Amino acid sequence: MIYHNTYQNAMMIFRFAFKMAAVAALVAAGTPRAMADIPRIVTDIAPVQSLVAMVTRDLTTPDLIVTPGAAPHDFALKPSAAAALDAADIVIWIGPELTPWLTDPLAALAGDARRLTLLALPGTQTLGFRAAMTAPHDDDEPDSGIDPHAWLDPENGRLWLTAIAEMLAGADPDNAALYRENAALAGAEIAALSDEIARLFPAPPARDFMVFHDAYHYFERAAGLEPLGAITLGDAASPGPAHIAALARIAAENTVSCIFAEPDYSQRLIDTVTGASRPEVVVLDPLGGSLPPGPGLYPALIGGMARDMAACLN
């Protein structure tokens, strides 16, 4: 209770100080009324920021909470992100399944903002976390709940564009037609990505790959792929010894040609699983941390992942 009261008091002081500074800055800058009418949008991760930027284009640049290259599961909220939340008119995020730590700051700082929770949108294709994909006696309990990496299904991206445009149109009627036009153009671009994925993976290839982190289920389903196993499960927790041993048995009994890893992967764990087979390691980044933020990030992320996976598997 002491911690809760301290947190609330700190948030109240921060909000008051930030608003006073914001008012002073607006007076000094003489911000035009037309700019003030454009809603300020805050997003959680770079792929979501990119989808929103595809809808807003030159009208405004959405703010981003989780900085590129950072892990969203346990990110520490920075003062600049807290300030953006406090000033937000609209918050668009995946949901608490990806960033549970963001729930309280949203209530404390952006309680009056409109909110769009993408995983909760009707029509969004969601998947539960997969089991360990190893053996019945595996010591790692499977994650429960919804796998939050749903942006890696391009059809979800297309669906979300429409919802984003409609929320922005409601908040900013003067630019409603432009938001909807931008969303339609962006949807056509993502549809072309889905067509490219179908061309790159015309038939399910042999199950000859593993993933370091089980973060690609949505993309794998869109491409018709299925891994032999995942070294770490969906929450990226460290695997137990029985899990590693079971994966090593699977690797010994099958040909593992590719390991799809992430930028912070452990080569030691991969070597422990694959032994002397030495499969090719392809580094993927489901968050697009190395890509420039903005409207081009999402198409580059999905298209790059498809081409990199196909190049190794084929």
Position 240 scores a pLDDT of 87
160 and 60 fall within a common domain:
yes
Q: pLDDT grade, residue 314 (50/70/90)?
A: confident
Q: Into how many domains does the chain fold?
A: 2
* Segments forming the whole domain that contains residue 7: 2-30+40-128+150-172
Distance in angstroms (rounded) separating the CA atoms of residues 64 and 81: 7
Position 74 scores a pLDDT of 83
- Determine, yes or no, domain membership for 145: no
- Determine, yes or no, domain membership for 45: yes
Q: Is 41 helix (H, G, I), strand (E, B) or coil?
A: strand
Position 234 scores a pLDDT of 62
Is the pLDDT at 134 greater than 70? The verdict is no
pLDDT in tens, 165-196: 999 999 999 999 999 999 999 999 999 999 99
Give residues with Cβ within 8 angstroms of 177, minimum separation 6.
none
Q: Is 117 helix (H, G, I), strand (E, B) or coil?
A: strand
Enter the tokens of residue 252. 């010994």
Model confidence, pTM: 0.85
pLDDT in tens, 144-160: 689 999 999 999 999 99
How far are the Cα atoms of 52, 97, 197, 229 from residue 69, in angstroms, in the given order? 19, 19, 25, 25
- Determine, yes or no, domain membership for 211: yes
- The 8-class DSSP code of residue 197 comes to H
Position 117 scores a pLDDT of 98
Position 4 scores a pLDDT of 40
How far are the Cα atoms of 19, 149, 256 from residue 225, in angstroms, in the given order? 50, 16, 14
Give residues with Cβ within 8 angstroms of 82, minimum separation 6.
14, 105, 109
Render 130-178 in DSSP notation, one character per residue. P--SS-TT-SSPPP-SEES-GGGSHHHHHHHHHHHHHHHHHH-GGGHHH
Domain end (from 116, 137, 172): 172
The residue among 271, 256, 149 whose CA lies nearest residue 213 is 149
119 and 166 fall within a common domain:
yes
77 and 111 fall within a common domain:
yes
Q: pLDDT grade, residue 276 (50/70/90)?
A: confident
Would residue 130 be called left, alpha or beta, if left means φ above 0 and alpha means ψ between -120 and 50 degrees?
beta
Q: How many C-beta atoms lie closer than 10 Å to residue 224's C-beta? A: 13
111 and 225 fall within a common domain:
no
- Determine, yes or no, domain membership for 183: no
116 and 164 fall within a common domain:
yes
Write the CATH number for 246.
Answer: 3.40.50.1980
